[in-house]
Amino acid sequence: MRPIAQPHHHAGHSGHTGHPGHTGRRPGDSGAHDAILLAARLEFGESGYDGATIRAIAARAVVDPALVHHYFGSKEQLFEAAVELSVSPAAFLPAILAGDRERLGEQIVERFLTVWEEPHNRPVFMAMLRSVISNEQAADLVRRLLVKEVFGSLAVALGVPDAELRATLAGSQFIGLALIRYVGRVEPLASADVGTVAVAVGPTIQRYLTGEIG
Amino acid sequence: MRPIAQPHHHAGHSGHTGHPGHTGRRPGDSGAHDAILLAARLEFGESGYDGATIRAIAARAVVDPALVHHYFGSKEQLFEAAVELSVSPAAFLPAILAGDRERLGEQIVERFLTVWEEPHNRPVFMAMLRSVISNEQAADLVRRLLVKEVFGSLAVALGVPDAELRATLAGSQFIGLALIRYVGRVEPLASADVGTVAVAVGPTIQRYLTGEIG
DNA sequence: GTGACAATTCTACAAGCGTTGAATTCTCTG
DNA sequence: CAGAGAATTCAACGCTTGTAGAATTGTCAC
């Protein structure tokens, strides 16, 4: 990754004073900005960071490649914008912890799958997953975010020993599940409904987080 | 992927008659062929199929990029040669099936990890894993090979219903485990010894293959 | 030595990449 | 209608990629 550069963007020298900003999107606007963002999510999701090209993204958005640059500055900044999370994984923790402790694993798996299923943020997750694996630097980000913060704090909150090991074990099952089901689309796991998978995988997570693992 | 082309290789019009072939490597040979193969495994393992470049592989082998081409014909053929498996996953099945049925999961996990640990074929697996994720076409290969043939036949051999679903579930745990432990190197799972991981993950596989999942 | 032939390198091409700045079109204001 | 400024496109740069063929070097048999 190169050092992050500033986009010159479509703001003069002093900014957008007196009219709605670029994110407000006033009526009559063609919406190329958002079209590019959507195309970027899809392309990054299908090809990963390195595989996706500005030109392909532009073509998908039916737009000139230079326009992509004009709005987002660089490929890296476009990726960051495309991968912006709409859901905070940690936000579900309190609700899950408050529920039935014996069905905790099942509930987490169900939540995980439900979020993935949503067509809106599926490309985002795909992009993250694919890019994390092919791009060494991006790995550290999700590595710490997902495994340590989310599952880590969950394991700690449960008050069990070996919290970190438990967190990584659970994380490994989730990563693998997403990879097989959504990226690889291997049947029959890919088409199994959320409930079935939750019942099948839930006990695994349950045991990793609260059961006997040594 | 482009159509597979023939390497012009260093065999004349009639082949190597009268002396050991190119795979035999007679003494005095500098061994550039094998050096390229090793470098290719390392590069593909670190960067995936698309990320690895012929030039980087050649540099790692301290060799001219054109030589790589002369020996292996194309990048794709080089990849195929580099990813040639030295161990047949299915070969372990009879031994595992003959063992204690209640420790089956643990034994498989231990076998899986042991094979991965070996420095000799670790880069090969890394290359497979990384490339499968970034290269859509290569996915089909391992998809069918690993999940369907290996775990599939295992689940079928055990005589349980839902063999395919069970196979993909087990496969997802293995993929995730390899990804976290070897590719992402997330601690403490990355440094935990094989026995510890086998005991922790074994029951998961045991249940997916033989237990109650619905 | 001299020829044959494999091993290796040099040079170069065509294609695709991210990126850039100038030129053009569009849209609204006054 | 004129003009300003955003939205968008054109054309091109420098670079890296896989690949190809000619040229060079090394090595052994006769």
Q: What's the whole-number average pLDDT of chain B?
A: 79
Q: Which amino acid is at A141?
A: L
Helix axes A122-134, B32-51, angle to 10 degrees: 160
Query: Do B177 and A172 make contact, defined as CB atoms within 8 angstroms?
Result: yes
pLDDT class of B48 with cuts at 50, 70, 90: confident
Q: How many CA atoms lie within 13 A of B49 on its CB side?
A: 26
In Å, what is the CA distance from A46 to each residue of A130, A141, B26? 8, 20, 46
Asked if the C-beta of A213 comes within 8 angstroms of chain B's C-beta atoms, the answer is yes
What nucleotide is nearest A69 when CA is compared to C1'? C19
pLDDT tens profile A2-36: 333 344 444 333 333 333 334 444 443 458 889 99
What are the tokens at B145?
Answer: 């090979």
Cis peptide before A188 (omega within 30 of 0): yes
Q: What is the pLDDT of residue B80?
A: 87
Instruction: Label each residue of chain A as H, E or C.
Output: CCCCCCCCCCCCCCCCCCCCCCCCCCCCCCCHHHHHHHHHHHHHHHHHHHHCCHHHHHHHCCCCHHHHHHHHCCHHHHHHHHCCCCCCHHHHHHHHHHCCHHHHHHHHHHHHHHHHHCCCCHHHHHHHHHHHHHCHHHHHHHHHHHHHHHHHHHHHHCCCCCHHHHHHHHHHHHHHHHHHHHHCCCCCCCCCCHHHHHHHHHHHHHHHHHCCCC
Residue B13 has pLDDT above 70, yes or no: no
Q: What is the pLDDT of residue B141?
A: 59
Q: Verify if strand C has an atom below 7 Å from the CB of A75.
A: yes
- CATH for the stretch A7-82: 1.10.10.60
Asked if the C-beta of A202 comes within 8 angstroms of chain B's C-beta atoms, the answer is no
Per-domain residue ranges of chain B: 7-82, 89-210
Between CA A57 and CA B135 the distance in angstroms is 18
Q: What's the whole-number average pLDDT of chain A?
A: 80
Residue A169 has pLDDT above 80, yes or no: yes
Nucleotides of D under 7 A from a protein CB: 5-12, 16-22, 27-28
C-beta contacts of B114-122 below 8 A and 24+ residues apart? B114/B194, B115/B87, B116/B178, B116/B181, B116/B182, B117/B194, B120/B86, B121/B85, B121/B86, B121/B87, B122/B45, B122/B182
- Structurally, at CATH architecture level, domain B89-210 sits in Orthogonal Bundle (1.10)
**Residue appearing with tokens 């609260």:** A210
Name the minimum distance, in Å, from the CA of A23 to any CA of chain B. 32
Q: Which of B47, B147, B199 sits opposite A186 (nearest CB)?
A: B147
More confident residue, A150 or B54: B54
pLDDT tens profile A180-208: 899 888 889 999 999 999 999 999 999 99
Closest CA relative to residue B126, chosen from B38, B201, B193, B47: B47
What nucleotide is nearest A50 when CA is compared to C1'? C17
Asked if the C-beta of B179 comes within 8 angstroms of chain A's C-beta atoms, the answer is yes
Q: Verify if strand C has an atom below 7 Å from the CB of B32.
A: yes
Q: What is the pTM of this model?
A: 0.81
Asked if the C-beta of A147 comes within 8 angstroms of chain B's C-beta atoms, the answer is yes
pLDDT class of B12 with cuts at 50, 70, 90: very low
pLDDT tens profile B140-192: 656 666 666 676 677 777 788 888 899 899 999 999 999 889 888 888 999 99
Residue A164 has pLDDT above 50, yes or no: yes
More confident residue, B63 or A135: B63
Q: Which of B133, B179, B204 sits opposite A204 (nearest CB)?
A: B204
In Å, what is the CA distance from A29 to each residue of A7, A8, A32, B125? 21, 20, 8, 50
Residue A43 has pLDDT above 80, yes or no: yes
Q: What is the pLDDT of residue B75?
A: 93
What are the tokens at B157?
Answer: 């051999």
Mean pLDDT across B1-29: 39
Q: What is the pLDDT of residue A10?
A: 44
Asked if the C-beta of A188 comes within 8 angstroms of chain B's C-beta atoms, the answer is yes
Contact B112, B87 (CB under 8 A): no
**Residue appearing with tokens 């996953």:** B89
Q: Which of B177, B187, B200 sits opposite A176 (nearest CB)?
A: B177
